[in-house]
């Protein structure tokens, strides 16, 4: 049996907008997130964790921000690519643990919808996808309300 772990990390700054998209769920907020694609920091992080477990680079290598075709793209495209790559290489995703770091918006009221959305996109049972949130105790850029950071760990198991 081949078991692989991958970690992902990403950050996005707040900018103009009236919502943030996290794990594919639109959450009302006083700002949006800035990025080349739709700036779903959580989906980007999980995607990178899968690529990491496969030792296959990162999201920027597969979908370069310098390529205009990815401007404003839905992050689900990136995630689905990583999931298919894992399955094509003989792996199933065992579980995902995703932690968002932000002062606002509050994640708790949206965590179940986020789990359901990501599980559906990845073909996982909902109890195999965890979404958690924490603050940085008002320290650093997340503490000052300048953006959101995300960390994720993914376990892949040979099918």
**pLDDT per position as a tens digit, 48-85:** 999 999 999 999 999 998 888 888 889 999 999 999 99
In this prediction the pTM is 0.96
| 97-115 pLDDT, tens digit each | 999 999 999 999 999 999 9
Q: What pLDDT sits at residue 32? A: 96
Tokens for 119?
């599980």
Both tokens of 21, joined, read: 């998209």
Distance CA 55, CA 77 (A): 20
Cis peptide before 127 (omega within 30 of 0): no
Question: Between β-strands 129-134 and 91-101, what pairing exists: parallel, antiparallel or unpaired?
Answer: parallel
Residue 30 has pLDDT above 90, yes or no: yes
> What is the pLDDT at residue 109?
97
Q: Give the angle subtended at the CA of 141 by the CAs of 29 and 75, to the nearest 5°.
A: 55
Determine phi and psi for 101, rounding to 5 degrees: -120, 110
Q: The domain 3-158: what is its CATH number?
A: 3.30.1330.50
What is the pLDDT, as a whole number, of residue 66?
A: 87
Q: Which residues make Cβ contacts (< 8 Å) with residue 16, sequence separation at least 6?
A: 31, 32
Nearest to 142 by CA among 104, 86, 109, 116: 104
Count other C-beta atoms under 10 Å from residue 107's C-beta.
22
Output the DSSP codes for 79-108. Answer: HHHHHHHHHHTTEEEEEEEEEEE-SSS--G
The domain locations on the chain are 3-158
Q: Are 125 and 119 in contact (CB under 8 A)?
A: yes
Structure tokens at 93: 């995703």
**pLDDT at 150 (0 to 100):** 98
**How far is Cα 96 from Cα 46, in angstroms, rounded to an integer?**
8
């Amino acid at each position: 049996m081949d078991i692989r772990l991958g970690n992902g990390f990403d950050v996005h700054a707040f900018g103009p907008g009236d919502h943030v998209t996290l794990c594919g769920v639109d959450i009302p907020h006083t700002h949006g997130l800035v990025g080349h694609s739709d700036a779903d920091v959580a989906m980007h992080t999980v995607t990178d964790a899968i690529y990491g477990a496969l030792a296959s680079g990162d999201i920027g290598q597969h979908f370069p921000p310098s390529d205009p075709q990815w401007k404003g793209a839905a992050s689900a495209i990136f995630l689905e690519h990583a999931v298919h790559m894992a399955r094509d290489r003989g792996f199933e995703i065992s579980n995902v643990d995703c932690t968002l770091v932000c002062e606002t918006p509050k994640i708790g009221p949206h965590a179940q919808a986020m789990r359901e959305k990501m599980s559906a996109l990845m073909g996982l049972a909902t109890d195999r996808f965890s979404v958690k949130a924490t603050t940085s105790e008002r320290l650093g850029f997340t503490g000052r309300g300048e953006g959101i950071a995300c960390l994720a760990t993914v376990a892949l198991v040979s099918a």
